[in-house]
Structure 1
């Protein structure tokens, strides 16, 4: 699996011989491959007017382009804000709650992200093809799809250490602009143009996987909640800045502590591990049917629904597992 930003073909449909050679070298003669574009065909076409675009079929004859549009930017941020607003209003009747939940469209975004990741995984696992994923800049929906596909395909990414490595590789080092995307929470009245909860959407999708495959992920919900909290407000430097260049200029590694160092302390790890975990070497194919996608109550309802009984139940499960 590869990822990139969009090709800069522009309105004159410029060719890039280096790109063509690079993508050609990874394919055998007659082998087919797939380009998954996370923009609509219309959006990709319009991008040519500002210097972007798509790969011309004539220049990449072995690559089949598939468009799977995923929202990013303001529409996704507004969806997040609407959901949080609905979850924070305990006075809603059942009909109004369901209506507000549907109008937020958050679960639709979760479904779309999982569906696109499954497509990428299917192209690799069942079609045995190479896959290139990109949207526009390659630092938002691109990372969402490639990271999710790896969790679906690779059992090592479903371990605590492997998942941390995945986040470091596919989100932090790949240049997801955390400072811009997570500038304010959904409770803020400020609506900055660059805000978008792409990383939260990824965490929600991973939670959906953990719910559908409760024995296949070594970590539990507490890790996902900690990652969400630290992406928006953290005492550690792991999610600071927008890319590696900024982190280097700001000397983040020299002047801050790593979140991973804290989470990997034995006493903290114990809180993060899934007591029901059993290594599963198989690909985990999630259901993306509407009935299968559920609201992540542990995150979105944690301020209005006490978690004491659930925490006690998990503690009891952990005790029983350790005794056996």
Structure 2
């Protein structure tokens, strides 16, 4: 029974990783780029919303849209300054380095808005309940439910709609899609905005569960999101979702066996193992063949 409880806790916590990984995977799937500033954009959106909440004393009903808006706006800012000017084969390294610079910039802005080490964050008052001798936190149940819903909506939008066809066309070959009349710049910008909305939802759910935000939240999002995406598969939306759940499950069991300090060690170890054995992830493409076949993109 104890191991079942640990597994449940790990999967529920891993749902937060899944949401963050979806944002990374969506951008990588379209542009074949990794946005290192993604986590800092979520921190900034949360920090601005928290600053506004303290100034105006707004309710949580208005607090959530503010988080989503500024997370999306931050991601659009990243896309315009880091990725749009360097969306060519030669711009891969430049765009990644640029996103790292933006990461530092956004973190500094967040630290100015929230100068203390920790700040209280509005939480959803959802009680814990027991079923069959197992305990379930209501807020974490909400997290995994929302993660399932967003994953399903995103999957249907990408694979079952006309807009999804355009997005996949740009992902397959931006030059060909442009010749067919697709506005690739608009597609890229909308991709970052959607990733910002998903990340904003994830940020609010995680921080409301923890009831606090720290300056390291952006780094935490980047680390967990990248590892979950790498486990599940580069550019695979389903892989990002299941990768997050698997990461949460492994962290829960290993931290139980060896102590809480092994939670972060587990994350780095899994990332190293995946990069060595299968860089494309469990459900992703063979990254070497993919890069070779899409030389015009990378």
Larger Rg: 1
Structure with more of its chain in helix, by fraction? 2
Structure possessing the higher relative contact order (Cα contacts under 8 Å, 6 or more residues apart): 2
Fold shared per TM-score above 0.5: no
